[in-house]
């Protein structure tokens, strides 16, 4: 059965992420640990935790997703398969898009689905669970696709992992702000959910275009 | 030769060196003179009826904030020139502009915070404008960090240029998400991020109302600091060209020594 190179690559990357173990587990474990540490640092006041829970869950999710971003092109670069992909018939933009999509499917979605469970630890309001998962599912593609730019840029850099965080976190500011705004818009009276939510979706769609283009440009420069 | 544009003529580093060498002393001298004049006018201007003497911080703060943005624009244009036109001096310009722009961004943040202490009672508030300038500062840091962490210089130059262009695309979104956006004729109204926490009482929506006695010193200072920016940028570019020449000479010297060493046993 012939599959397009895009889906072949996507399936390969998902299979690798699942079988390699560690990758998904580490991100989820990191998410759990960070959220569990926060009440220890902030104090066990449940009212306070409940109020700031959406923000904490979003920020911890960003950090957890960053952990596995650095691996997006690294292993393929080390064993030379990235160069084969570059000289193959598939445009490098599609290769980058497939890898970013695989990252979202294996990191963004699991983290977003774990978030409500961790919300229990922070006394998150029950009515917020649905909105929280919805905004995270819609917002996390931006994390993977903008992250692909950072992963491509730092491929041959020294201390790539830390550098990646420095480069990419400022780019996540709009996603973070509108993700939180959509949640508070849905919970608080007198504020609206849809405008922020739609901007959040637009940011993800925009990053779907920008991410692969910029990542492929960065990869091409390094593979010459 | 006569059909060449100015940018093409300047592409020759030697020509750039001789031309900038002739211009730089005048540019630097003019910058100092205008800044001194502007600061003197600012010093002798009457204090503000509301803000008192702290208004004088504005004469440094506003030019610094303006140059923070100009600096990024210059980095972005230079990056575009490198990636698209492969202009030989584009990367030299981008590399020289980044730290200068970052320094002015930091200056804007520091002077703003010094002004904030007497006026707002605190050095830092998560005001929309402060936050977006802070994010601009982070982008500058990212550019410099990426360049310094890649050993091969041409590779570092191109990758930094890609990041600078990505930053240009995302910077408006960061700014809008933090400061809000209002386009009345489109019916578009995006509220600022911090209005949830504290209403803006300092930045009036009816635009800055500024008296001529304060406006003119401000304009002189803005002109002076802009001249200073370009003088520093030109000096930075010259230093970078010289550094590259020294490096090329060193490598040539090492190659020559190696060749001599390899030839020696045969004698």
- Domain assignment of residue B164, yes or no: yes
* Cβ–Cβ contact A181 with B under 8 A: yes
Query: Which residues neighbour A71 within 8 Å (Cβ) at sequence distance 6 or greater?
Result: A23, A151
Q: Which residues of A40-71 are buried (b: 16+ CB within 10 A; e: fewer)?
A: eeeeeeeeebeeebbebbbbbbbebbbbbbbb
Q: Where are the domains of chain A?
A: 5-223
- Count the alpha carbons within 13 Å of A209 in the hemisphere toward its beta carbon: 6
Indicate the angle between helix axes A173-187 and A194-223, nearest 10 degrees. Answer: 160
Contact B82, B90 (CB under 8 A): yes
Does residue B205 have a pLDDT over 80? no
A84-132 pLDDT, tens digit each: 988 888 899 999 999 999 999 999 999 999 999 999 999 998 888 999 9
**Is the CB of A222 less than 8 angstroms away from the CB of B151?**
no
Residue A27: name the closest of A84, A133, A104, A139 by CA. A104
| DSSP 8-state code for residue B188 | E
User: Across the interface, do B166 and A154 touch by the CB < 8 Å criterion?
Assistant: no
Q: What is the pLDDT of residue A172?
A: 94
**Under an 8 A CB cutoff, do A221 and B165 touch?**
no
Closest CA to B56 of B111, B110, B122, B106: B111
Which of A108-122, A139-153, A199-213, B111-125 has the lowest average pLDDT? B111-125
Q: What is the phi-psi region of residue B5: left when phi exceeds 0, alpha when psi lies from -120 to 50, beta otherwise?
A: beta
Q: Is residue B206 part of a domain?
A: no
- Shortest Cα–Cα distance, B131 to chain A (Å): 10
Q: Answer for the pair A99, A11: CB distance below 8 angstroms, yes or no.
A: no
pLDDT in tens, B225-239: 999 999 999 999 999
Residues of A in contact with B159 (CB under 8 A): 153, 218, 221-222
A to B CB pairs, distance under 8 Å: 79
**Is residue B9 in a domain?**
no
The pLDDT assigned to A3 comes to: 66
- Quote the number of domains for chain B: 1
The answer to whether residue A20 scores a pLDDT higher than 90 is no
Predicted-assembly ipTM surpassing the 0.85 threshold: yes
Any domain includes B12 = no
The conformational region for residue B152 under phi > 0 = left, psi -120 to 50 = alpha, else beta, is: beta
**Record: contact B146-A149, CB cut-off 8 A:** no
Residue B52 DSSP symbol: B
As a dihedral over the C-alpha atoms of residue B26, residue B31, residue B36, residue B41, rounded to 10 degrees, the angle is: 120
Q: Contact at 8 Å (CB) between B35 and B224?
A: yes
Residue B228 lies in a domain: yes
pLDDT at B203: 42
Domain contains B155: yes
Residues A145, B4: Cα–Cα separation, whole Å: 41
Positive or negative torsion for Cα A81, A86, A91, A96: positive
Asked if residue B28 belongs to a domain, the reply is: yes
Work out the pLDDT band at A70, boundaries 50, 70, 90: confident
Q: Judge: A203–B173 Cβ closer than 8 Å, yes or no.
A: yes
Using CA coordinates, name the residue in chain A closest to B144: A167
Best to test chain A binding among B102, B166, B195 (most A CBs inside 10 Å): B166
Asked if residue B139 belongs to a domain, the reply is yes
Q: Give the range of the structural domain holding residue B82, as residue numbers without chain letter.
A: 23-197+212-266
């Amino acid at each position: 059965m012939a599959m397009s190179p895009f889906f072949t690559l996507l399936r390969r990357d998902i299979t690798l992420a699942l079988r390699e173990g560690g990758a998904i587990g580490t991100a989820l474990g990191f998410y759990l640990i960070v959220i569990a540490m926060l009440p220890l640092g902030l104090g066990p006041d449940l009212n306070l935790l409940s109020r700031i829970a959406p923000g904490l869950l979003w920020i911890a999710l960003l950090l957890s997703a960053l952990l596995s971003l650095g691996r997006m092109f690294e292993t393929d670069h080390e064993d030379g398969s990235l160069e084969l992909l570059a000289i193959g018939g598939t445009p490098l933009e599609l290769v980058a898009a497939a890898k970013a999509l695989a990252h979202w499917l294996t990191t963004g979605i699991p983290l977003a689905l774990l978030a409500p469970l961790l919300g229990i630890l922070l006394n998150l309001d029950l009515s917020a669970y649905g909105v929280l998962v919805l905004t995270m599912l819609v917002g996390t593609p931006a994390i993977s696709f903008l992250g692909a730019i950072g992963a491509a840029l730092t491929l041959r850099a020294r201390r790539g992992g830390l550098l990646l965080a420095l480069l990419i976190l400022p780019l996540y500011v709009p996603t973070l702000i509108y993700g939180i705004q959509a949640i508070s818009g849905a919970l608080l009276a007198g504020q609206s959910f849809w405008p922020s939510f739609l901007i959040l979706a637009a940011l993800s769609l925009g990053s779907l275009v920008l991410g692969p283009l910029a990542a492929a440009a960065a990869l091409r420069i390094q593979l010459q | 030769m006569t059909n060449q544009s100015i940018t093409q003529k300047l592409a020759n580093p030697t020509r750039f060196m001789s031309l900038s060498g002739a211009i730089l002393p005048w540019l630097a001298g003019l910058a100092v003179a205008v800044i001194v004049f502007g600061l003197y006018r600012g010093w002798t201007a009457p204090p503000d009826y509301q803000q008192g003497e702290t208004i004088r911080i504005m004469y440094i703060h506003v030019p610094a904030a303006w140059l923070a943005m100009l600096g990024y624009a210059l980095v972005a244009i230079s990056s575009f020139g490198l990636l698209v036109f492969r202009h030989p001096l584009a990367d030299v310009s981008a590399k020289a502009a980044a730290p200068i722009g970052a320094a002015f961004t930091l200056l804007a943040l520091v002077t703003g915070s010094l002004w904030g202490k007497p006026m707002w009672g605190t050095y830092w508030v998560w005001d929309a404008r402060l936050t977006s300038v802070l994010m601009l500062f982070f982008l500058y840091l990212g550019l410099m960090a990426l360049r310094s962490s890649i050993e091969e210089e041409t590779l570092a130059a191109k990758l930094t240029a890609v990041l600078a262009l990505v930053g240009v695309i995302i910077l408006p979104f960061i700014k809008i998400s933090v400061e809000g956006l209002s386009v009345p004729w489109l019916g578009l109204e995006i509220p600022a991020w911090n209005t949830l926490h504290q209403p803006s009482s300092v930045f009036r929506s009816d635009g800055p109302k500024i008296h001529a006695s304060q406006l003119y010193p401000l304009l002189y200072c803005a002109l002076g600091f802009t001249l200073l920016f370009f003088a520093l940028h030109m000096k930075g570019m010259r230093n970078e060209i010289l550094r590259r020449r020294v490096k090329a000479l060193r490598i040539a010297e090492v190659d020559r020594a190696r060749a001599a060493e390899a030839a020696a046993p045969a004698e």
